[in-house]
Structure 1
Amino acid sequence: MDHEVILLDSNQGSNQHTYSIGEAAKMIGSTVKTIRYYDEIGLVHPSLHTEGGHRLYTPQDLWRLELITTLRYLNFGIPDIRKLMSGELGVSQALDLQMEALETQIGTLSSMLSILQQAKQHEAETPLHAGHSLSYVSSLVDSITAHAKKRKQFVSAKMKESHLLDGIPQEWRVSFLHFFDKYLMKDTKMSAEQTMAWNEIQEIINDPGYFADLARLELPFFTMANHPQVEAEVWVKKMEEIRIRATEALSKQWPPDSPAVQAIVQDFVMLYASNERTGDPEVFFRTQAQYMLDSVTERILRFNRLCMVVNPAWSEIVDGINLLQEGMRLRLQQMEED
């Protein structure tokens, strides 16, 4: 060790070793730039600074940095690492999510390898048509890639087959699919990984159990849509406003029990109030929020995770919902205590 600093930590009342950012980088096998980045995004702050403002890291800081380095090696994303280290995401759940992600990547690589192998075989079998294999590769990719038109046709057919939306007015059927159409039906060519995720989404949608889960989860929507307090277009605009506010709350790292997040939670839950079910707002909130929390199944969660692969922008919706759900739990706990 080239340099070691001994400082008194006023919080612990005892001496402890501290290390410069350069030393910390060497000890965990990373770079100064990376450690500085973790500080800037609030993932790991140095416990101390020199009088000149230079970062100093304690052994506990080094342990956290080492853990982040390990998780990054295992391909964990920064948002999941943040949730894991804050306790928002349990270790078992984090490992399950990462294994699912890696399994999707393995499937993606297998699919890509198969295409390349077929192209090489085609090249060997048609030596007089050198270069045609590139066109062959393109045709193979096109044959497995689900463009927006194909995706829309598939979803439309499954919705009709399930009869899920038969009981609500036409304008509310469009509202029901608003976010799905906006984010998942974009007319862009998907990557190999996105194609693999879409294939699994189709498998889930083909499972009658998924539609049973969805019908249970969306029962409050169907009830509201048949006796709405606002028009369908207005409801969609309000939902978009909720999404924007939740995204802002996440970016500013407002806690679920903060007044700002609780205001979003209140507005979100009350959007499902109908003319026939408003009654006492507090009673409605309690019943509706508990139903929303109890109706989420593993199939629904997996579907959302796959949607995030198809379009990363879907993560804003999922993260926003997670924030609101945590806000609901805290609000319901407070109601019980009161």
Structure 2
Amino acid sequence: MDDDAKLYAIGEVARRTGLSVSAIRFYSDAGVVAPAAHTASGHRLYDVHAIARLEFVSTLRELDAGLEDVRSLLDGRVTLTDLATAHLARLEQHARRTRVRLAVLRTIVKQETEAGQVILMHKLVAMSDDERDRLIDEFWNEATEGVDGDDAFFAMLRSHRPVLPDDPSAEQLEAWIELGNLVRDGDFRRAVRDQLRETFATAGASVMLSAEMLGEFDRGGAILQDAHDAQLAGVPSDSPRAGEIATRYVEFLGRVSGDDDTPEFRRKVARDLVRVEELHRESIEEAATSPDPHTRYQSLVATINGTADEYASFMPYAWLRAAVDPSP
């Protein structure tokens, strides 16, 4: 007999599909997969097409598709792509809710949270982008109030703010919960304000933190980024491209310090780059546990924005040092 015409008893269908007999009966009674025929005594018989249909239905159900969705697909009312798209959206929404719950629960465990704070945590994770921006603006308004400093520096501080992605990870949500709690805390706001006052009270702070100097730092940062990109691209440190970047960096530091591009100044720049690399490594290690309020703020923002790994891997210093001063 041709395989297409061969009929199988429900027990054999169960063995072939891995479904239980009761499940096969359920799909038959629900009108999802009807038997091809019945025996004289009323037992159901299935052909290979019905078996294939049952396996397909089983797969869809394992993917958590609803029975009505499956029926609509098999009846031709929706396409498989339409069904998958709608189901994927539901699963992604469920996954986001799960990540939110995980973040809140992890924070409760880590911080030994009191019952009253749980409501605040839920409000924090449910905030819109505009609400988060307002909270950060309120924080910086209070933290900078009464501080005699440069507006350009304050604008730079405000620009480094959390931007929670549409589909945040549990780690990003946990960081936002911690940051949201911190920036609402009056003691933290006062600590940041006191730190800013101490910073601007330091000798030379008004010059080093002026708009002109901040612009210079931006230009220096752009040169370091070029060095980082060249290093990642495999550009040798003794190549003409590396020499051009090194010269720009030395000239940038010379403008700041008033030094000319001499062999002695280059050796000093190379030595300083060793220390810069050490400070970079130390800042990565200390960021998560630093008692310094602004450092903790920056660390949490970097986690929320997904730039923490990028900062940790930013290490062009040895490459640039060799380009600036190729002598041992």
TM-score, structure 1 as length reference: 0.38
Structure index of larger Rg: 2
Q: Which has the higher contact order (CA 8 A, sep 6+)?
A: 2
